[in-house]
Amino acid sequence: MITKGITKQGKYYDSVSLMIISNEINKLSGVIDSSIVMGTHENISILKVADLYISDFDNVDDTDLLISMKVEKEEDFDNALVKLDELFNELSNKSDDDSDFAPKSLENAIKQMPEANLSLISIAGKYAVAEVWKALKSGLHVMLFSDNISIEDENKMKAYGLENDLLVMGPDCGTAIINGVPLAFSNVVNRGDIGIVAASGTGLQEVSSIISNEGAGISQALGTGGRDVKKEIGGKMFLRSMQALAQDNDTKIIVLVSKPPHESVQAKIAAEIKNINKPVVSILIGGNPKVLEEAGAFSANTLEEVALMAVKLSKGEDIKSVSTDTDFSEIVEKEITNKTPEQKYVRGLYSGGTLCDETQLLFKDKIGYAYSNTPLTDVFLMKNVWESTENIVIDLGDDEFTAGRPHPMIDFSLRNKRIIQESTDPQVAVILLDVVLGYGANMQPSQELAPIFRQALENNPKITIIATITGTSGDPQNKELVEQELQNAGAIVMQSNASAAKLTMEIIAKLNN
């Protein structure tokens, strides 16, 4: 086995195209592993961990294309390069073929669709700000998927939006559903009378999916980007979205989803709740709900609970009847009987940041703080995200992993490698992960994960794999089908992130008694 690679200077390709090409190269005979990425600092780190780094990459920058392969013999590398050239040529020809239909600028897009009133922007952060301003000055609402935007730019854009009655959703806004149209990472959900405002993409997906799976539906779901509730932004779009839903005739119940807002922002949200003549249910993940409760909102402890509360209100039922308590004792006893004395830790590998946070919070009171790249307290900040110690819960969708790479909801390769790595650690008892379905997400999750689960269980038959699926049966991937295929591969599949986290911590607590 040998590792070889080459560099192509100044050759830029978007991360999704590179992911697709890399997947095709990995299918070739003699190719053990490959990575085709732009030369960002983060991608260099990933190449080193994957043992795909070569000395030729020592002086590259983020405008260089890096091609690295682990192959059985020299000729396999040469054959792969030939195939690689074919794939890049196909990509170029496809772009040329589409040129008559796809506008190359916002200005041309507006000419083709003069009736449009919203622009979805998803390009590298350093280019995105200029495009946002073009859209706003053209009178368009903006959904900004891009991250790596300065907080100063965000504040200016949102201030302009407020002055001109325009929504600025983002930056780093991954999900919205407007008038039944799903945007970016969104799920196929029922239409209904529940409106959602969320400073959290996967939080919005989890809540809207559970609502739909329970037979209720969504009127509007507005994302704001996670920083909107920070002191510097002041909740500009969170508050404006609350006002929009309060005025929307199709919305009868309003759901608020957020990490803890700054105290000043939380006070503004509470004041706005008092102005709303509709039921409001809220989840402040890790925050103190008392201020919002005193303003008249119902509060929940988990994303699952807030969704079920909204469903009860929508159906005209007693909200006090909501219960998320589940007896896991039978599953726990079964899973702990085959563990070795060494096995006592969990490795949580998340693509959804809010789901990662919720899991850490649930763990805290039962099995203690987990180490993370996004920890609840800085004491548990991982010194090296590539090395696991004790209990960990990682957000693989954080900026350090996504710069120059597709989001892990799209590209499973990094997490797949991490699952295999964790399965070889004799101290690991449980591997916990989320699978987020919907538009924009990986279209074949079970086909990618099932062989990885089987390999992990072959490495350690005594390990437990617990997965939670965020999505619906209407999603392109089909939640029920994915669930069945992952179960067939040896995983325990739970119906919510909260239930998956609770089962996991019951197992870990029992093993450490």
Mean pLDDT of the chain: 91
> Could you count the other beta carbons within 10 Å of the beta carbon of residue 499?
18
Domain boundary among 100, 121, 137: 100
Residue 412 CB partners (closer than 8 Å, separation 6+)? 442, 445, 448, 449, 452
What is the pLDDT at residue 393? 97
Mean pLDDT calculated for residue range 351-380: 94
Same domain, yes or no: 405 and 306? no
Is 81 found in the same domain as 189? Answer: no
Residue 146 lies in a domain: no
CATH number of the domain residue 180 falls in: 3.40.50.261
> Rounded to two decimals, what is the model's pTM?
0.86
Q: Is residue 151 part of a domain?
A: no
Query: pLDDT tens, 127-155?
Result: 899 999 999 999 999 999 888 899 999 99
Residue 121 inside a domain? The answer is: no
* Preceding omega of 476 cis (within 30 degrees of 0): no
Question: Residue 403: pLDDT band by 50, 70, 90 thresholds?
Answer: low
Round to whole Å and give the CA distance between 188 and 473. 8
Q: Are residues 206 and 348 in the same domain?
A: no
pLDDT greater than 70 at residue 187: yes
Query: Given a cut of 70, is residue 178 above it in pLDDT?
Result: yes
The alpha carbons of the chain give a radius of gyration, in whole angstroms, of: 23
Residues spanned by the domain of 435: 329-511
> Does residue 105 lie in a domain region?
no
How many whole angstroms separate alpha carbon 483 and alpha carbon 465?
A: 13
In a domain, 156, yes or no: no
pLDDT score of 37 more than 80: yes
| Confidence (pLDDT) at 105 | 80
User: 315 with 333, same domain?
Assistant: no
Instruction: Give 118's contacts (C-beta < 8 A, 6+ positions apart).
Output: 140, 141, 142, 143, 178
Q: Contact at 8 Å (CB) between 360 and 375? A: yes
Q: Examine the domain organization and report whether 398 and 498 are in the same domain.
A: yes
Do 505 and 403 sit in the same domain of this protein?
Answer: yes
Top-confidence residue, 163 or 97: 163
111 within some domain: no
Q: For residues 421 and 495, state if they share a domain.
A: yes
Please give the pLDDT value at position 404: 63
Output the domain CATH number for residue 39: 3.30.70
More confident residue, 468 or 51: 468
Q: How far apart are CA 273 and CA 458, in angstroms?
A: 53
Q: Verify that 368 and 419 share a domain, yes or no.
A: yes
Instruction: Work out the angle between the directed axes of helices 151-163 and 236-247 (0-180°, nearest 10).
Output: 30
Same structural domain, 282 and 384? no
Higher model confidence: residue 21 or residue 271? 271
CA distances from 10 to 63, 198, 439 (A): 5, 39, 32
Asked if residue 212 is part of any domain, the answer here is yes
pLDDT at 100: 53
Residues near 377 by beta carbon (within 8 Å), at least 6 away in sequence: 369
> Model confidence at 49, in pLDDT bands (50, 70, 90)?
confident
- Report residue 233 CA to chain centroid gap: 22
Write down the pLDDT at residue 138.
Answer: 93
* Chain position carrying tokens 């008694």: 513
Question: By three-state DSSP, how is residue 394 classified?
Answer: strand
Is pLDDT of 10 > 80?
no
178 shares its domain with 67:
no
Number of domains in the chain: 3
| 102-127 average pLDDT score | 84
Contact 179, 191 (CB under 8 A): no
Same domain membership, residue 358 and residue 505: yes
Q: Which residues pair with 221 in a beta bridge?
A: 177, 196
Is pLDDT at 98 greater than 60 in this prediction? no
The neighbouring-strand residues paired with 191 are 218
Residue, of 417 and 430, whose pLDDT is higher: 430
Q: What is the pLDDT of residue 111?
A: 83
What pLDDT score does 102 carry?
66
Q: Which of 45-59, 276-290, 313-327 has the lowest mean pLDDT?
A: 45-59
Task: Return d(Cα 513, Cα 51) in angstroms, integer.
Answer: 38
Q: Is the pLDDT of residue 335 over 70?
A: yes
Q: Are 266 and 230 in contact (CB under 8 A)?
A: no
pLDDT at 89: 84
- Give the residue from 321, 352, 379 where a domain finishes: 321
- β-sheet bridge partners, residue 215: none
Question: For residue 488, is pLDDT > 80?
Answer: yes
* Residue at which a domain ends, from 68, 100, 132: 100
The answer to whether residue 298 is domain-embedded is yes
Report helix, strand and coil shares of the chain as percent, to nearest 5: 45, 20, 35
> Residue 186: beta bridge partners?
439
Say yes or no: 357 and 445 in one domain: yes
